[in-house]
Amino acid sequence: MTDLSTSFFGLTLKNPVIAGSCSLTGNIDSIVELAKAKPGAIVLKSVFEEEIDLLYQKEQNSIYTQNLDPEYLNYFDYVIKEENLGKYLDLIQQAKKLVNVPIVASVSCITSNEWISYVKRFQDAGADAIELNLFIIPSDLKRTNEENERFYFESVRKVNEMVSIPVTLKVSYYFSNLAKMMKDLSSTGIAGITLFNRFYSPDINIEKEELTAGDVLSNSDEYLLPLRWTGILSSKVDCPIAATTGIHSAETAIKMILAGAGAVQIASTIYKEGPDVIGKIIKGIEEWMNRKSYKSIKDFKGKLAVHTEDITAYERVQFMKYFGNKDK
C-alpha cells in the first residue's frame, strides 16, 4: 500500500498537500469544505500585524478626540484588540472542533514587537503549529542588511520562547545571501521553512498612466523559482522545507518532492478549481508513485536535490549542458 505520509510543521501529515494561508482558510465554512478533500494540513488565513493595529487605531483616534480619562482610553484600546484577536481565536477553536486535519495558525508581520504575544494565544486556542509569515522588502535605504536579517532571528527567538508547539517560517527570496540565511535560520530550532511567500505586486496601466494591482493568483509556470531553491537548499538546511507558489498540479508537486520538499502548499489553484483539486493532486501523486514502484514519499524525496558541496559548480554544469553544446 502506498504511504503518502510526510513531515512538516513538526507534525506527521497524512499526505504532502497543504491548503495554504488565504481567504479560503479564513472562515469556518470553507475550512470544513477544504477538510473534506483531506489535505495534509490547513494553514489559517494570516493575522496581519498591521491589520489589528490599524483597526484599533481608527477607533482610538475617534475616541481620543472626546477628552476622556486616560485610564478609560487604555482600557478601550485593550478591548478593541481583544475583540479583533478573539475572532481569530474563535476560528482556531471551531476548526479544531469540526475538522480532523492539523490546523496551523499564521501571523504575517513586519516588526518583532507586540504581535509576539499573539502566538501564545494561538497555542492556547488549540493550534497544532504556528507559521510566521515574515517579510521585509529591502527597499529602505536607511536600513542595513544586518538590521533586516536581525528581524527574522529576533522574531524566531521570541516566539520559540513563548510557545511549545512547532514554529515554521514562510519567507521570501529577498536576501543578499539566500542560501546562508536559510541555513542559519534552519538552525534556530524552527520546524520548517516554506519557500516562498507570494505578495501583492503592482502593475502599471499605460493608458491611464497609473498603478494597478498585478495578478493576485499564481500561474502554473511560477514554480521554477521555488523549485530551484528547494533543490539547492533541501539537503543543506537543518529543518524540512515546503514549497509553494505555482503548484497547480500533481506533476509540479512531485517535482518539488524530488527536489527535496517535504510538503507543498497550494492556494491559487484552489481558487481556480475549487477544493476538489486537493484530492486530484493527492491522487496524481499516488498514481505516479505506483507507476514508479515507490512505496513511500521518503523513497523519492530529495532524489534530485543538490548533494554536492559546491552548488555553483552544479548550476554551471546545468547551464553548460543546455548552452555549451549547441550547434553554431
At 54-96, the pLDDT tens digits run: 433 443 444 344 444 444 334 334 444 667 788 999 999 999 9
Cell of 121: 494565544
284 vs 47, higher pLDDT: 284
The amino acid present at 205, given as its one-letter code, is N
Predicted TM-score (pTM) of this structure: 0.88
HSE toward the beta carbon, residue 27, CA cutoff 13 A: 4
The H-or-E segment that residue 196 falls in is none
Cα-based distances in Å from 219 to 101, 248, 252, 326: 27, 8, 12, 30
What sign does the CA torsion over 93, 196, 115, 189 have? Answer: positive
The pLDDT assigned to 5 comes to 98
The amino acid present at 87, given as its one-letter code, is K
The per-residue b/e assignment along 36-67, b for 16 or more CB within 10 angstroms, e otherwise, is: ebebbbbbbbbbbbeebbeebeebbeeeeeee
Question: For position 208, which CATH number holds?
Answer: 3.20.20.70
How far apart (Å, rounded) are the C-alpha atoms in residues 195 and 36? 26
146 vs 56, higher pLDDT: 146
- Domain residues for the domain of 81 are 6-323
pLDDT of 270 above 80: yes
Q: For residues 108 and 61, is the Cβ–Cβ distance under 8 A?
A: no
* Strand, coil or helix: 208: coil
Q: For residues 21 and 41, is the Cβ–Cβ distance under 8 A?
A: no
Among 81, 5, 87, 13, smallest CA distance to 43 is for 13
The pLDDT assigned to 137 comes to 74
Helices (H), the chain: 28-36, 49-64, 70-98, 116-125, 145-162, 178-186, 224-233, 250-258, 268-273, 276-292, 311-323
Average pLDDT over residues 2-11: 97
The distance in angstroms from the start CA to the end CA of the chain is: 51
Place of cell 522574531: 155
298 vs 147, higher pLDDT: 298
Cell of 148: 533586516
Among 324, 227, 223, 327, smallest CA distance to 268 is for 223
User: Per the domain annotation, does 32 fall within a domain?
Assistant: yes
Among 167, 141, 140, 147, smallest CA distance to 156 is for 167
Average pLDDT over residues 9-15: 98
pLDDT of 15 above 50: yes
User: Per the domain annotation, does 174 fall within a domain?
Assistant: yes
User: Per the domain annotation, does 39 fall within a domain?
Assistant: yes
Going by pLDDT thresholds of 50, 70 and 90, the confidence category of residue 215 is confident
287 vs 75, higher pLDDT: 287
Q: How many residues are there in the chain? A: 328
pLDDT in tens, 108-134: 877 656 678 789 999 999 999 999 998
Average pLDDT over residues 294-321: 83
Q: For residues 104 and 75, is the Cβ–Cβ distance under 8 A?
A: no
pLDDT in tens, 309-322: 777 766 776 766 76
What is the pLDDT of the chain when averaged over all its residues? Answer: 87
DSSP secondary structure code for residue 130 in this structure? E
User: Per the domain annotation, does 13 fall within a domain?
Assistant: yes
Cα-based distances in Å from 56 to 49, 51, 157, 246: 11, 9, 27, 35
Residue 154: CB atoms within 10 Å: 14
User: Per the domain annotation, does 173 fall within a domain?
Assistant: yes
User: Per the domain annotation, does 328 fall within a domain?
Assistant: no
Q: What angle do CA 249, 252, 257 make, to 5 degrees?
A: 125
The amino acid present at 191, given as its one-letter code, is A
State how many domains the chain has: 1
pLDDT in tens, 160-202: 999 999 999 999 999 989 999 999 999 999 999 999 988 778 8
32 vs 324, higher pLDDT: 32
User: Per the domain annotation, does 209 fall within a domain?
Assistant: yes
pLDDT of 250 above 60: yes
Q: For residues 217 and 224, is the Cβ–Cβ distance under 8 A?
A: no
User: Per the domain annotation, does 1 fall within a domain?
Assistant: no
